[in-house]
Amino acid sequence: MNITLENKSKSNLMRSFQAMKWYEWVMAVIMVAIAGWAMYNGFAHPAEGGNPGWLTAVNFISAVCGVICIFFCASASISNFAFGLVNTFVYMVYLWYWKIYGTFCLELFIYLPFNIVGWIVWAKHRDEVQPEKTMAKKLTWWQDIGAGAIVIAAACVYHAILVRVGGTVPWLDAFTVSIGIIATGLEMLRYREQYWLWIIQDIIAVAMYIVHFDAVYLTKKSIYLIMAVIGVIRWTRLQKERNSQNL
């Protein structure tokens, strides 16, 4: 029985990789190249870079696992959660080192537990045609408005907290956290509207890593932004074609 489940899991993972588009492979190669260069430079010239050598190695792991996770998630692939968990752990190390506390708390208290619960939820609602994927759902218009109002209110409250604890980029960090909380909940519950929020969050994240320049994470978040746009298209199509009942 265990052997059968293990083989099935490997088969679903393989199908997820095989379903990746050529442009996703191109972005993956670019991400690995930039992260690899940054890691080499960090160890070869530790005094010249913003990150110490050991942190560039952490960045490399986060970059690779992060982009694979986002590629799979944009296709509703359940395998994204395995890479997402690794990315969450190593990214928290980076955020703590640079005192980006708001996003650190988001990763620790939201992304980490929601990742585990989401893995279970998605696996229970597999697509009948492609079992490596989950079924996409959609929100009603009034639920969209409610989600937006919560994001704005939470960002204002969280900004005040971050200013008190000495956060380095309080407004950007606050909106990243508030949007991330709602988007992660929508992702866990399989709602396609998560990607509209991911687009906003990724624009903010790109801005944050321009201000606090980091080539690896700027590239990573730029790829996230591209895949968020693609995710809107894919999840909308999946919901309309194969889950019109919105179950």
Taking only the tens place, the pLDDT of each residue in 18-45 is 999 999 999 999 999 998 998 888 787 7
Sequential DSSP letters for 150-214 = HHHHHHHHHHHHHHHHT-SSHHHHHHHHHHHHHHHHHHHTTBTTHHHHHHHHHHHHHHHHHHTT-
Q: Which amino acid is at 10?
A: K
Q: Look up residue 108 and give its DSSP letter.
A: I
- Give the pLDDT score at 54: 87
| pLDDT tens-place string over residues 161-219 | 888 887 767 887 788 788 988 999 999 999 999 999 999 989 988 887 888 788 888 99
138: left (phi over 0), alpha (psi -120 to 50) or beta: beta
Place of tokens 């110490």: 52
pTM: 0.84
Assess if residue 81 is contained within a domain. Answer: yes
Assess if residue 78 is contained within a domain. Answer: yes
Assess if residue 181 is contained within a domain. Answer: yes
Assess if residue 19 is contained within a domain. Answer: yes
Residues 6+ positions from 47 with CB-CB distance below 8 Å: none
| pLDDT tens-place string over residues 94-143 | 889 888 887 788 789 888 999 999 999 999 999 988 999 999 999 988 98
Lowest mean pLDDT among 36-40, 50-54, 66-70, 146-150: 50-54
> Which CA distances in Å does 40 have to 53, 56, 61, 63, 234?
8, 8, 13, 14, 36
The tally of domains found in the chain comes to: 1
What's the length of the chain? 247
| pLDDT tens-place string over residues 234-243 | 999 999 998 8
Assess if residue 66 is contained within a domain. Answer: yes
Which residues span the domain enclosing 131?
2-242
Assess if residue 247 is contained within a domain. Answer: no
Assess if residue 86 is contained within a domain. Answer: yes
Assess if residue 211 is contained within a domain. Answer: yes
